[in-house]
């Protein structure tokens, strides 16, 4: 019999705030009713704010982040088109695999799992592509498998510098709503996210931002798609309806979660994630452990992947789960057993990251990693309370 709270520190699904769960507890309703657009049109408007776009359209497709990947590709690229992608973690690898299976000719640049998108290599390849043979450039903004955030603006800059006309696809599944994302400023043509990460909702919808350039491309695109066709979706969305039955509960939850994000203020949301993440990183450093991310400029504010050296990271996960009712993220694919991940995004506060660190300490120690108890928690506490402890009360480390 498990008592108390079950702790979820995985990078999605994230914790759903109680008020959001309550907001979803509504009766079924008529999705063709005259006033249905009162709910949905405002959701489209506010989701554009989260993407930071005034010019793109947003669409909600039943599915998850990966279905929005597929919708983005099949609406704008033709079978046989050449695209440029990097593989630097499990999510970027799966997206490249999908692109290949959908019939695209994928130029893949493989870099270390822990590196960011190889901007210089992209610049070289795009610069050499004088005939604009490359139709799209794909960027995984936040590689959730490795805890790496890449520089989307830098990719846009190199595309502009060589006057390249390719579409820019960005996977923002674990960044949108948690880490700054600027669709218009970065010239993102297809922005992909889902409901179960920064938006603090259950899984169930793939969310897509499509620029006017992407929508224009969809009008001549010959790839087969039916359920995910932009044309049907945009035609119905114009009046707040959908071409199929939408998950209305999820839409009511989204209303509440968008209210929370916009009420806190997006910049404050990003600052909170940065602060919580920095506390976690201080803790990890105090343990003497290393992140999978290669350098500080790549550190993700939504997830940290922590290397466990000679110790099997699966043991850490098993102990946390069985002894402490706590889920951390597992190491994916080639990182299985080598890292465990702490997801620190969504509806989170300092008490929660401190709990994560303390349970990680206990689990790491029991798995055989040499840990000084309290070291990570202490480092995070020192950071979170910085400048607030009166001189007379400062006893630590002096």
Ligand X SMILES: *Cc1c(COP(=O)(O)O)cnc(C)c1O
By CB under 6 A, name the one of 21, 31, 46, 66 that touches ligand X: 66
What is the number of the residue whose Cβ is closest to ligand X? 65
Stretch that binds ligand X, among 24-32, 60-68, 79-87, 212-220 (CB under 6 A): 60-68
Nearest Cα neighbor of 14 from 344, 319, 351, 349 is: 344
Stretch that binds ligand X, among 108-116, 138-146, 207-215, 372-380 (CB under 6 A): 138-146
By CB under 6 A, name the one of 14, 15, 53, 64 that touches ligand X: 64
Stretch that binds ligand X, among 140-148, 272-280, 286-294, 322-330 (CB under 6 A): 140-148
Q: Applying CB under 6 A, does 122 fall inside the site for ligand X?
A: no
Q: How far apart are CA 124 and CA 164, in angstroms?
A: 12
Q: Applying CB under 6 A, does 14 fall inside the site for ligand X?
A: no
> Nearest distance from residue 340's CB to ligand X, in Å?
16
Stretch that binds ligand X, among 38-46, 63-71, 287-295, 307-315 (CB under 6 A): 63-71
Q: How far apart are CA 78 and CA 76, in angstroms?
A: 7
Q: Applying CB under 6 A, does 300 fall inside the site for ligand X?
A: no
Q: How far apart are CA 272 and CA 12, in angstroms?
A: 18
> Nearest distance from residue 202's CB to ligand X, in Å?
11
**Contact pattern for ligand X over residues 78 through 117, marking x by CB under 6 A:** -------------x--------------------------
Stretch that binds ligand X, among 33-41, 61-69, 109-117, 375-383 (CB under 6 A): 61-69
Nearest Cα neighbor of 324 from 289, 364, 297 is: 364
Binding footprint of ligand X, residue count (CB under 6 A):
13
Q: Applying CB under 6 A, does 144 fall inside the site for ligand X?
A: yes
By CB under 6 A, name the one of 40, 53, 150, 174 that touches ligand X: 174
> Nearest distance from residue 60's CB to ligand X, in Å?
13
> Nearest distance from residue 52's CB to ligand X, in Å?
18
Closest CB to ligand X among 251 and 345? Answer: 345
By CB under 6 A, name the one of 12, 116, 118, 247 that touches ligand X: 12
> Nearest distance from residue 145's CB to ligand X, in Å?
8
Alpha-carbon distance values, 26 to 15, 16, 29, 182, 305 (Å) = 20, 16, 9, 33, 38
**Contact pattern for ligand X over residues 177 through 216, marking x by CB under 6 A:** -----------------x--------x-------------
> Nearest distance from residue 164's CB to ligand X, in Å?
24
Q: Applying CB under 6 A, does 51 fall inside the site for ligand X?
A: no
* Three-class SS of the chain: CCCCCCEEECCCCCCCCHHHHHHCCCCCCCCCCCCHHHHHHHHHHHHHHHHCCCCCEEEEEECCHHHHHHHHHHHHCCCCCEEEEEECCHHHHHHHHHHHHCCCEEEEEECCCCCCCCHHHHHHHHHHCCCCCEEEEEEECEECCCCEECCHHHHHHHHHHCCCCCEEEEECCCCCCCCCCCCCCCCCCEEEEECCCCCCCCCCEEEEEECHHHHHHHHHCCCCCCCCCHHHHHHHHCCCCCCCCCCHHHHHHHHHHHHHHHHHCHHHHHHHHHHHHHHHHHHHHHHCCCECCCCHHHECCCEEEEECCCCCHHHHHHHHHHHHCEEEECCCHHHCCCEEEEECCCCCCHHHHHHHHHHHHHHHHHHCCCCCCCHHHHHHHHHHCCCCCCHHHCCCCC
Closest CB to ligand X among 64 and 358? Answer: 64
Q: Applying CB under 6 A, does 8 fall inside the site for ligand X?
A: no
By CB under 6 A, name the one of 72, 173, 354, 359 that touches ligand X: 173
Closest CB to ligand X among 75 and 90? Answer: 90
Phi, psi torsion values for 133, nearest 5 degrees: -70, -30
By CB under 6 A, name the one of 70, 171, 180, 294 that touches ligand X: 171
> Nearest distance from residue 335's CB to ligand X, in Å?
14
Residues that bind ligand X (CB under 6 A): 12, 64-66, 91, 140, 142, 144, 171, 173-174, 194, 203
């Amino acid at each position: 019999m498990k008592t108390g709270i079950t702790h979820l520190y995985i990078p999605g699904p994230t914790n759903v705030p109680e008020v959001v769960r309550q907001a979803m507890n509504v009766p079924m309703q008529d999705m063709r009713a005259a006033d249905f657009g009162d709910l949905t049109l405002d959701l489209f408007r506010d989701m554009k704010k989260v993407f930071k776009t005034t010019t793109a359209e947003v669409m909600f497709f039943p599915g998850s982040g990966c279905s929005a990947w597929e919708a983005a590709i099949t609406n704008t690229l033709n079978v046989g088109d050449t695209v440029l992608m990097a593989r630097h973690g499990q999510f970027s690898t799966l997206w490249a695999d999908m692109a290949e299976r959908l019939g695209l000719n994928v130029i893949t640049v493989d870099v270390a799992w822990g590196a960011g998108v190889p901007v210089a290599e992209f610049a070289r390849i795009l610069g050499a592509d004088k005939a604009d043979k490359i139709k799209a450039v794909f960027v995984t903004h936040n590689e959730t498998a490795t805890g790496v955030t890449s520089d989307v603006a830098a990719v846009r800059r190199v595309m502009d510098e060589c006057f390249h006309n390719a579409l820019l696809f960005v996977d923002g599944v674990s960044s949108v709503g948690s880490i700054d994302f600027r669709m218009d400023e970065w010239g993102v043509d297809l922005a992909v996210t889902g409901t179960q990460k920064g938006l603090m909702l259950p899984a169930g919808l793939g969310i897509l931002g499509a620029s006017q350039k992407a929508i224009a491309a969809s009008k001549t695109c010959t790839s087969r798609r039916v359920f995910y066709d932009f044309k049907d979706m945009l035609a119905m969305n114009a009046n707040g309806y959908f071409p199929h039955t939408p998950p209305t509960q999820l839409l009511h939850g989204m209303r509440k979660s968008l209210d929370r994000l916009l009420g806190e203020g997006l910049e404050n949301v990003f600052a909170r994630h940065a602060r919580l993440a920095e506390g976690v990183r201080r803790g990890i450093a105090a343990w003497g452990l290393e992140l999978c991310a290669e350098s500080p400029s790549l550190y993700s504010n939504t997830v940290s992947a922590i290397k466990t050296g000679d110790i099997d990271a699966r043991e850490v996960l098993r102990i946390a789960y069985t002894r402490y009712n706590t889920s951390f993220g597992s190491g994916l694919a080639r990182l299985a057993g080598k890292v465990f991940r702490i997801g620190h995004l969504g509806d989170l506060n300092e008490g929660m990251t401190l709990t994560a660190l303390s349970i990680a300490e206990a689990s790491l120690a029991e798995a055989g990693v040499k840990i000084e108890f309290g070291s990570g928690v202490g480092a995070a506490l020192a950071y979170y309370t910085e400048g607030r402890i009166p001189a007379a009360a400062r006893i630590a480390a002096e």
